[in-house]
Amino acid sequence: MRNKRTIIISNRLPVRIERRDQELHFIPSEGGLATGLGSVYQQDDNIWVGWPGFVPESEEEKLIIRERLAELNLVPVFLTEEELMGYYEGFSNEVLWPIFHYRLSYAVYNTDNWHIYKQVNQKFADRVQEQDLNEKDEIWVHDYQLMLLPNLIRQRYDRISIGYFQHIPFPPDEVFRSIPWRDELINGLLGADLIAFHTYNDSQHFLNACTHILGLPIHNNCLHVGGRSVFAEVYPMGIDFEKFSQLAHSQAIRTRAQQIREFYMDRKFILCIDRLDYSKGIIERLEAYESLLKEYPEMREKVILYMLVVPSRDTVPQYKMLRDEIDRMVGHINAVYGTNEWIPIAYFYNSFPIEELSALYVAADVCLVTSIRDGMNLVCKEYVASKEETDGVLVLSELAGASKELLEAIQVNPNSIDQIREGLKAALDMPPSEQRRRMKDSIDIVRKFNVRHWVKIFFNRLREIKTFQKQEMAR
Output the DSSP codes for 178-198.
TSTTHHHHHHHHTTSSEEEES
Q: How far is the CB of 378 from ligand G6P (least distance, A)?
A: 8
Q: How far is the CB of 258 from ligand G6P (least distance, A)?
A: 31
Q: How far is the CB of 236 from ligand G6P (least distance, A)?
A: 14
Report the chain's terminal Cα–Cα distance, integer Å: 28
- Cα 76 to its chain centre, rounded Å, is 21
83-89-95 Cα angle (round to 5): 115
Q: How many CB atoms lie within 10 A of CB 334?
A: 16
Output the DSSP codes for 233-292.
EE------HHHHHHHHHSHHHHHHHHHHHHHTTT-EEEEEEEES-GGG-HHHHHHHHHHH
In DSSP terms, which residues pair with 271 in a beta bridge?
A: 306, 367
Residue 167 in contact with ligand G6P, rule: CB under 6 A:
yes
Residue 387 in contact with ligand G6P, rule: CB under 6 A:
no
Q: How far is the CB of 192 from ligand G6P (least distance, A)?
A: 17
Q: How far is the CB of 259 from ligand G6P (least distance, A)?
A: 30
Coil vs helix vs strand at 173: helix
Q: How far is the CB of 151 from ligand G6P (least distance, A)?
A: 19
Closest residue by Cα to residue 303 from 438, 213, 395: 395
Q: Which is nearer to ligand G6P, 289 or 319 (CB)?
A: 319
68-29-283 Cα angle (round to 5): 145
Residue 168 in contact with ligand G6P, rule: CB under 6 A:
yes
Q: Which is nearer to ligand G6P, 50 or 344 (CB)?
A: 50
Q: Which is nearer to ligand G6P, 313 or 452 (CB)?
A: 313
Q: How many CB atoms lie within 10 A of CB 70?
A: 12
Q: How far is the CB of 51 from ligand G6P (least distance, A)?
A: 9
Residue 373 in contact with ligand G6P, rule: CB under 6 A:
no
Q: Which is nearer to ligand G6P, 147 or 194 (CB)?
A: 147
Q: Is the distance from CB of 409 to CB of 380 less than 8 angstroms?
A: yes
Q: Which is nearer to ligand G6P, 305 or 357 (CB)?
A: 357
Residue 12 in contact with ligand G6P, rule: CB under 6 A:
yes
Cβ neighbours of residue 18 under 8 Å, at least 6 residues apart? 24, 25, 27, 53, 54
Separation in Å, CA 129 to CA 14, 123, 209: 21, 10, 30
Per CB under 6 A, the list member of 312, 318, 390, 411 interacting with ligand G6P is 312
The whole-angstrom separation of Cα 231 and Cα 413 is 31
Residue 141 in contact with ligand G6P, rule: CB under 6 A:
no
Residue 313 in contact with ligand G6P, rule: CB under 6 A:
yes
Q: How far is the CB of 409 from ligand G6P (least distance, A)?
A: 20
State the residue number with the nearest CB to ligand G6P: 167
Closest residue by Cα to residue 124 from 138, 100, 94, 145: 145
Residue 143 in contact with ligand G6P, rule: CB under 6 A:
yes
Closest residue by Cα to residue 366 from 384, 392, 391: 392
Q: Is the distance from CB of 289 to CB of 424 less than 8 angstroms?
A: yes
Residues 92-121 that bind ligand G6P (CB under 6 A): none
Q: Which is nearer to ligand G6P, 312 or 318 (CB)?
A: 312
The whole-angstrom separation of Cα 274 and Cα 397 is 13
Q: What x-and-dash track marks residues 335-364 binding ligand G6P by CB under 6 A?
A: ------------------------------
Residue 261 in contact with ligand G6P, rule: CB under 6 A:
no
Residue 123 in contact with ligand G6P, rule: CB under 6 A:
no
Q: How far is the CB of 313 from ligand G6P (least distance, A)?
A: 5
Q: How far is the CB of 33 from ligand G6P (least distance, A)?
A: 8
Q: Which is nearer to ligand G6P, 313 or 381 (CB)?
A: 313
Give the interface size with ligand G6P as a residue count (CB under 6 A): 6
Q: Which is nearer to ligand G6P, 95 or 168 (CB)?
A: 168
Separation in Å, CA 65 to CA 13, 37, 59, 96, 284: 13, 21, 10, 30, 43
Q: Which is nearer to ligand G6P, 97 or 244 (CB)?
A: 97
Contact residues for ligand G6P, defined by CB under 6 A = 12, 143, 167-168, 312-313
